[in-house]
Amino acid sequence: MTNSNTRLQVMWNRLLAVVEEQGQALIRAAFSPIVRECGDISAGIFDLRGRMLAQAVTGTPGHINTMAEAVKTLRGRFDLRDMRPGDIYMTNDPWIASGHLNDFLLMMPVFFRGRAVGFTSCTSHLVDLGGLGMGPEGSDIYDEGLLIPPCKLVDGGELNALLMAIVKANSREPVANEGDIYALVACCETGARRLAGMMEEFGIERLDELADFIIDTSYRGTVERIGDLPKGTRTNVLKVDGYERGIELHAALTIEDDCILLDFDGTSGLSAKGINVPLNYATAYSVFALRCIIGPDIPNNAGSLAPFRVVGPKNCILNAQPPAPVAMRHTLGQMTPDLVYGCLSQVLPDQVPAEGASCMYDLPLRHVPEAVARGDTQFALELVFSGGTGARPGLDGLSATAFPSGVWGSQVETTEAVAPVLFERRELKPDSGGAGKMRGGLGQHIELRSSTGEDFMLFLSVERVLNPARGRNGGREGAAGRICIGDDRPDLPGKGEVRVKAGETLVFETPGGGGFGDPRARSRQDVERDLEEELISDEVARETYGFTR
Amino acid sequence: MNIENGLRLAVDIGGTFTDSVLADVQGRIIASTKTPTTPENPALGALEGARRVMSQADADWSKVMSFIHGTTLATNALIERRGAVVATVTTEGFRDILEIANERRYSPYDINLVKPDLIVPRSRAFTIGGRMNAGGHVLRPLDEASVSRLADQITACNAGAVAICLLHAYADATHELRLRELLKALLPDLVISLSHEVSPEAREFDRLSTTIANAYIQPLIAGYLGEFQTRFAREGLTCPILMMTAGGGMSTMETAARLPIRLVESGPAGGAILAARVAAETGAREVLSFDMGGTTAKLCLIDDFRPQTARKFEIARAARFIRGSGMPVRIPVIEMIEIGAGGGSIAHVDRLGRLQVGPESAGSMPGPAAFARGGADPTVTDADVVQGLIEPGRFAEGRLAIDVDAAKSALERVVGAALELGAARAAHGISEIVDGNMANAGRMHAVESGKDLGTRLMIAFGGNGPLHATRVARRAGIERILIPRDPGVGSAVGFLHAPVSYEIVRTRYVTVNAFDLDGLNAFFKEMTAEARAVVRAGAPEAALKQRRLAFMRYRGQGHEVEVALPDRTLKESDIPDLRRSFEKEYSRQFSRTVPDMPIEILNWSLQVSTEPRKPERYPAPTSKRQVRPTGRRSILCDVTGEWCEADVHDRAMLRPGDFLNGPALIIEPQTTTFVSADFSAHLDSAGNIWLVRNPEEKP
């Protein structure tokens, strides 16, 4: 009874386990803190045509479907007939891999009984690629570091030593980079070995039947869900802070019988700084957000992704073309879920949440430039904090929780153990959750200073300082983010470099999520609980929720 | 008391059954039984089981020289939320450690995700002034003037227990100790758990969560232990009772009452101890233990006869066993993965037409459809029944009648109809899915530890372990399986082999380039004194051994590598050895080292335990006698998917050296061992069943 549906399904489950194994192998060996803390990787298995069959469910959506497209691109770039066992291809081209230079993508053909049967691929975030370093200050891609066009990293098992030397010579963290590339190689090889092992075990010679089963099943399931939606086009505009000026993100979401089209037409043009977003990355977050509502139970693969199509005019800020700087593409990329939810909520008003903090509040800290010469403490630390998520139609938003990204927040004790900083406070900020029948999640209030009496540098690229998360259906907006030094000094902009002097306290407030529905409709019990837990003040309870004792 | 004919008693109270085992001093099992657990007063069920094995062996209570007890009470109290009203006290400015947690959603695509309820709402989260830094130096003194306000707040919210977790208390506990003293003076009846005693590791969220869990169950467990002790003393028990812990060791009643969080998951730990023991007896250095019961399956890697350990796990995972959906608890534990795959796991067809099995379980009430107790959902047991793998008249010591037709119709109605399959094909499909899931979970678990499954010996037990072992092994690429004696009461048997032990894992940040030897030696001295005091209480005269570990990593990495340290004061010359050991283990796991990367150590472990008895090695049986079956049954072959005739054997009648070929069923009172067609079986001189995959047969 080979290859009955249940047998194909057992193999599908195995493929899903194989990609998870691949992903774990990569995360365990990685050096980049963002990989370890956030699982900022992807790992997947592809058929011979380059169709993605399975992908590890990892921490951040930024890699979802960028890898699916990247493998197709590389597959088209190199001739299958030239590929040999033990070959591995590589690139970090932001427009092919995952939106900025730090993300390296590897692809390896898998051979079984002497014949190519498919590919494994993976992506991971490397710590440093030279240039101006991780930050929005570059004015073109050349400022941002080393770009490696698609090339062969490993030739028949033999690593291209010159290529590795170039990557190391162009980085401030050569050892970590080398370690991360080896981790990627190991990840590809693990996937290839496991895939071949699975084919051996199940006695199959090629992946075609399994691939068709996976892709057809997933495609059908997704299209069924799309078929349930009302047809037509809905539009939304999201105003965001930007760097040098405010930016408008535009979206038109068209639902047809068997597909969904998202068009960014009308979106503002490029920024002079590295907050521009290649389309592959904007697509990743947009489609992730849509798939959270439309068929979230279907695994990510070529079939479930096929019905979603995303376009945007060239050189709008969500379809940046080379040589635009893109290092901090996640700052706006992570805002695209709120953009598409503004469209989708018009179709599914009782399923789509209000806007949230969305952009992760990362806080890269470093010693001041002169510390090296003076022999002062040297350190580099990338702390990540989250704001509140938007209220859901039936539930309050989540306080201090990452969405859409899957980052983990930092712990105070481990941070203080390894870096010269001291936290004075880290608590939820009362009244920061947008009021509503369902309340938005609360942001955080954080205060920190140097623990050694030395100045330190801060590199900001955050959103929602000027444009807080909007509520939905009568829900109110969440509190804006806020960064300042000492409580009495003026607020700082959300992007740029800041020097925090010894003895000064940095105040860092993450945004709250928007509310959902009229606050006056919030149940008395919920308002009482919020009061008891001091999540809202008496004044807000009275004025906004109309609460009387 | 005469050591020669002294007896050892072990009682494991599980969710459904209480297992009792009586053994002689050599560990030979004299009697065992399964009795129903009595949730309203678990001590009663334990007493019933203990009385039964005592009377089976015609033994006298005065002969019982040791009594080991494990219970799911601690776990269940946390899952069912039956604990005390808890308040927390954290450092001023850090009221929301619990609410902020890791800032993370455990399920990336779930818009309507609800975070785990971590017991203490913000309205019972209080703070106090005073601040330590990471080095354990006081930056601001404890705000003693505010303690009376704090006491008022605690009283006002009706808290019966308090969890105190101050920043960096693992580095210096002075503030926590002083705060307890001051609060006790004002509120003498208050139960107080201190974070540095419960879990002295850095990471404030995990430590607070662990301290809360401890405080939450402390009053309940203290009451239970007192009651248990009294009842057994009244019965005639004269020896002290030792409690099984999650770390696989035993501790005294007093330690258990102070740190009840260490009692969670003690049953599964007992299973892993049994597997480790059997591994030692058979000389198997690489083992996967596979414990499959009615609701879940537990898998544990055992290397060099030692179960893999971890420093953290989660209790009460809400959604479908998803990582991150439970309450984190950071204590030394035997590392296991538990997945929702057991005999009671329910099968259904999802909207994509995919057959899914578990994690929802029919439990023991109503149970699988075949039990005919009102269960209508098709389960893994129903699939086994339809495939002919369970002999209806002999299930569960023959006490439970099996309704084959009920199993069939449940399969046809739910799975068959949706997938256009007959009952047999549906049953086969369910097995393939659930066995594949278990094998995949095992593969994943091995990869996460940098290990491989293929070369391992699987040791299978639990009510359903022996039945599914060959099918899971095949999918995991495992060739050899061992079914120990008394597999149905494996955890309780394991208790008999556990040492008295106590392990402390504590944080102290060190880089290998800047090693503070004196400080570190003083640090270990303190931990050693604490651990020895605890173990001595349970084993006043036994020889003790110690084990020290460092958890090391390259700077920037998250994954830590466990490295053993010499059991003595560290010297300058040990440091290069430490580096070498780390690099050796690192390259074993990752195939390379990273030459210029600094190495750092954040956590250290010290374990004190009694020496386990030397394992007996059994000689390999000399003959390979082909045995005659006691019967034949028609079964659906898991290899070919076709019906075939299988031999039926009675385990009690098999002797060392006996040999048989699959397909066959080996039946014993509490479980059945299924020998698939591509396996053969033989008995060793200890009575273990070995299942070996026939090399020529691959499907």
Q: Residue range B162-182: average pLDDT? A: 97
Helix (H) or strand (E) holding A309: strand A308-311
Q: Is A340 a domain residue?
A: no
The answer, for A483 touching chain B at a CB cutoff of 8 Å, is: no
Q: Residue range B23-39: average pLDDT? A: 85
Q: Which residue of A has its CA nearest to B434?
A: A10
Q: Which residue of B has its CA nearest to A399?
A: B100
CB contacts under 8 A, A 22-41 vs B, are 24-25, 27-33, 36-37
Indicate whether B3 pLDDT > 70. Answer: no
- Give the model's pLDDT for residue A210: 96
Do residues A36 and A183 both lie within one domain? yes
List chain A residues with CB under 8 Å of B557.
Answer: 30-31, 36
Look at phi and psi of residue B585 and say left if phi exceeds 0, alpha if psi is from -120 to 50, else beta: alpha
Out of A25, A175, A394, the one facing B596 most closely (by C-beta) is: A175
- Contact between chains at B352 and A221 (C-beta distance less than 8 A): yes
Cβ distance A253 to A344 under 8 Å?
yes
Do residues A213 and A357 both lie within one domain? no
Indicate whether B16 pLDDT > 80. Answer: no
Indicate whether B395 pLDDT > 90. Answer: no
Residue keyed to tokens 């279907």:
A298
Low-confidence winner among B26-40, B230-244, B492-506 (lowest mean pLDDT): B26-40
- Give the model's pLDDT for residue B2: 39
**Three-class SS of residue A22?**
helix
DSSP state of A480: P
Concatenate the DSSP letters of all residues of B124-137 into one string.
GEEEE--EE-TTS-
- Give the model's pLDDT for residue B85: 97
- Average pLDDT of the residues of chain A: 93
Cβ distance B678 to B696 under 8 Å?
no
- Contact between chains at B559 and A422 (C-beta distance less than 8 A): no
Q: What is the 3-state secondary structure (H, E, C) of A204-220?
A: CCCCHHHHHHHHHHHHH
For residue B55, the cross-strand partners are: none
Among residues A219, A234, A258, which one ends one of the domains?
Answer: A219
Indicate whether A33 pLDDT > 80. Answer: no
- Say how far apart CA B541 and CA B413 lie, in whole Å: 63
- Say how far apart CA B281 and CA B686 lie, in whole Å: 9
Among residues A192, A219, A246, which one ends one of the domains?
Answer: A219
pLDDT tens for residues B217-271? 999 999 999 999 999 999 999 999 999 999 999 999 999 999 999 999 888 999 9
- Contact between chains at A406 and B557 (C-beta distance less than 8 A): no
pLDDT tens for residues B135-171? 999 999 999 999 999 999 999 999 999 999 999 999 9
Among residues A159, A188, A219, which one ends one of the domains?
Answer: A219
Indicate whether A536 pLDDT > 60. Answer: yes
Do residues A27 and A173 both lie within one domain? yes
Q: Is A50 a domain residue?
A: yes
Q: Is A298 a domain residue?
A: no
Q: How many domains does chain A have?
A: 2
List chain A residues with CB under 8 Å of B95.
Answer: 427-428
Indicate whether B63 pLDDT > 70. Answer: yes
- Contact between chains at B94 and A13 (C-beta distance less than 8 A): no
Domain extent at residue A200: 5-219
Q: Is A470 a domain residue?
A: yes
- Give the model's pLDDT for residue B320: 56
- Say how far apart CA A374 and CA A421 lie, in whole Å: 19
pLDDT tens for residues B72-130? 889 888 988 889 999 999 999 999 999 999 998 988 899 999 999 999 999 999 999 99
φ/ψ of B689, rounded to 5, equals -90, 130
> Confidence band (pLDDT; 50, 70, 90) for A222?
very high
Q: Is A260 a domain residue?
A: no
Indicate whether A2 pLDDT > 60. Answer: no
- Give the model's pLDDT for residue B327: 92
Q: Is A201 a domain residue?
A: yes
Q: Is A276 a domain residue?
A: no
Q: Residue range B30-47: average pLDDT? A: 88
Out of A24, A179, A417, the one facing B509 most closely (by C-beta) is: A417
Q: Is A535 a domain residue?
A: yes
Indicate whether B621 pLDDT > 80. Answer: no
For residue B356, the cross-strand partners are: B348
- Contact between chains at B105 and A221 (C-beta distance less than 8 A): no
- Give the model's pLDDT for residue A382: 81
Interface probe with B: pick from A359, A427, A438, most Cβ of B within 10 Å: A427
Cβ distance B297 to B469 under 8 Å?
no
